[in-house]
């Protein structure tokens, strides 16, 4: 069984999280500048066994699309051109706010709490854990 990789795509940075090989626990992995994400992913996918990619899908509060949603959907299309892995869109509403709250509650020094790269990779982790939880709940119904 391979890992599941999650991406929180943004115009400037991409937060990345990954599961353990048993696909149980999500862990923050990295934040990569958006301009370097494809080279990073190519290298990662060549060296790690990955079963699928979960991509945060930023819908608005009513479930509609925004400019950011369209940008993420375009990114998904480009991503599909470099890998044959399934790319699953997963609703990421509130993941950044939850990441900010998690960081503020963590006890980190103020300088670390304000690093946007931390928010991006923790957002990816929250997206991935949400995906894992929703699939686990479906399997147990």
pLDDT tens digit sequence for 52-92: 999 999 887 777 888 889 999 999 999 999 999 999 999 87
Q: Which CATH architecture has domain 3-139?
A: 2-Layer Sandwich (3.30)
Residues paired with 30 in a beta bridge: 16
Q: What is the DSSP letter of 62?
A: T
DSSP alpha helix (H) spans, 48-106? 67-80, 95-105
pTM for this model (two decimals): 0.83
- Residue 141: the pLDDT is 43
List all residues 6 or more positions away from 25 whose beta carbon is below 8 Å from its beta carbon: 19, 129, 132
Q: Tell me the pairing of strands 26-33 and 13-19.
A: antiparallel
Please say whether the beta carbons of 135 and 19 come within 8 A: no
Tokens of 75: 């990114």
Q: Domain ranges for the chain, please list them.
A: 3-139
Report the C-alpha gap between 33 and 37 in whole angstroms.
6
């Amino acid at each position: 069984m391979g890992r599941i990789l999650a991406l929180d795509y943004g115009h400037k940075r991409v937060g990345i999280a990954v599961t353990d090989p048993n696909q149980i626990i999500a862990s923050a992995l990295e934040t990569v500048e958006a301009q370097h994400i494809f080279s990073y992913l190519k290298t990662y996918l060549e060296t790690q066994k990955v079963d699928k990619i979960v991509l945060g899908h930023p819908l608005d509060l009513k479930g509609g699309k925004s400019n950011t949603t369209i940008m993420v959907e375009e990114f998904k299309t480009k991503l599909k051109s470099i890998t044959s892995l399934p790319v699953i869109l997963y609703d990421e509403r509130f993941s950044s706010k939850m990441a900010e709250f998690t960081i503020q509650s963590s006890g980190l020094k103020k300088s670390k709490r304000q690093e946007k790269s931390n928010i991006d990779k923790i957002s990816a982790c929250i997206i991935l854990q949400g995906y894992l939880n929703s699939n686990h709940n479906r399997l147990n119904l």
